[in-house]
Amino acid sequence: MIKHYIEAARLRTLPLSVSGIIVGSFVAASQDLFNWLICLLALLTTTGFQIISNFANDYGDGVKGTDNEDRIGPKRAIQSGVISPKQMLNAIIITIIITFIVAVSLIYVSFGKEDFLNASIFFILGVLSIVAAIKYTVGNKAYGYNGFGDLFVFLFFGLLSVCGSYYLFTKHLNFEIFLPAFSVGFLSVGVLNLNNMRDRESDVKSHKNTLVVKIGSKFAKYYHFSLLIASFLTAFLFILLNFHSLIQFIFILAFIPIARHGLVVYKNKIPKLLDPELKKLALSTFLFAILFGLSVYLPVIL
């Protein structure tokens, strides 16, 4: 049974979920404002949010019948019957409780008892993150069924993840930190868009009106390429604004597999063949987070 819950947690999505934390942490470290405990708690909190989202996605699509024989990709837990809807609901509640405790610990370590305003703001953001993770597919007004998934992924995986983690360390924001936040956000939306391109036909039958369903496969590809290009440009601009050494351009190496991925998407005519690209783009985003972080941090220590 534990094996089925681990599979439902979709471990392959976790590197993507922590990419923003990695970037925000590296930028803070480059300013000598890093704290290992904050970093660890932020990583655990974000991982918790992602697992809640994955469990809720399995539950929401499972009870609505969206996960059916037409769906491309691995079978989900409720769809295959290895976990019942009630068991999955219990797993969601337990994960929420654990993640909430970790998130409160993170807020306390970052702001202590004195900074009530910032602590309150991040407490609210934490609650909103949990709500957003659940409401993607759960409920009659699930935003993932109305084409708003892309926006929420950009906000939570990009802006909140990078800017939020950076703020936990530094207690301030500036314009420049939004550039790498955009980069991570664009790539994260790219993963969702790829997923929705793969599942377009089954989503149409299930009345899941993702952005891909709304704009069609052709424009979904154009949208996908725009996300990949925009991610590169915003990261490149950040490095130009903070240029110290040529070593800072090592982040470009991450865009080699991303460019190859874009070529595969361009040539694709069979949606189910996009499934392996999900893992490739997610891992490429994680690679980007590491290399971009080093691009920012290495000039400081060399």
The residue range of the domain holding 51 is 2-301
Q: How many domains does the chain have?
A: 1
Mean pLDDT (whole number) for 141-162? 91
Check pLDDT > 70 for residue 113: yes
Rounded to two decimals, the pTM is 0.93
Q: In terms of Cα–Cα distance, which of 63, 121, 122 is closest to 92?
A: 63
pLDDT band per the 50, 70, 90 thresholds, residue 126: very high
The tens digit of pLDDT for each residue in 25-40 reads 999 999 999 999 999 9
The tens digit of pLDDT for each residue in 52-107 reads 998 888 887 777 666 556 555 566 777 777 788 888 899 999 999 999 999 999 99
Between 252 and 81, where is the model more confident?
252
The tens digit of pLDDT for each residue in 166-216 reads 999 999 999 999 999 999 999 999 999 999 999 888 888 878 889 999 999
Q: In terms of Cα–Cα distance, which of 136, 124, 112, 116 is closest to 54?
A: 136
Tallying the residues shown for the chain, one arrives at 302
Classify residue 131 by burial, with Cβ atoms within 10 Å: 0-12, 13-18, 19+. Answer: exposed
The percent of residues above 70 in pLDDT, for the chain, comes to: 95
pLDDT (0 to 100) of residue 45: 97
Check pLDDT > 80 for residue 157: yes
Could you tell me where the DSSP H helices lie in 65-84?
77-80
pLDDT band per the 50, 70, 90 thresholds, residue 17: very high
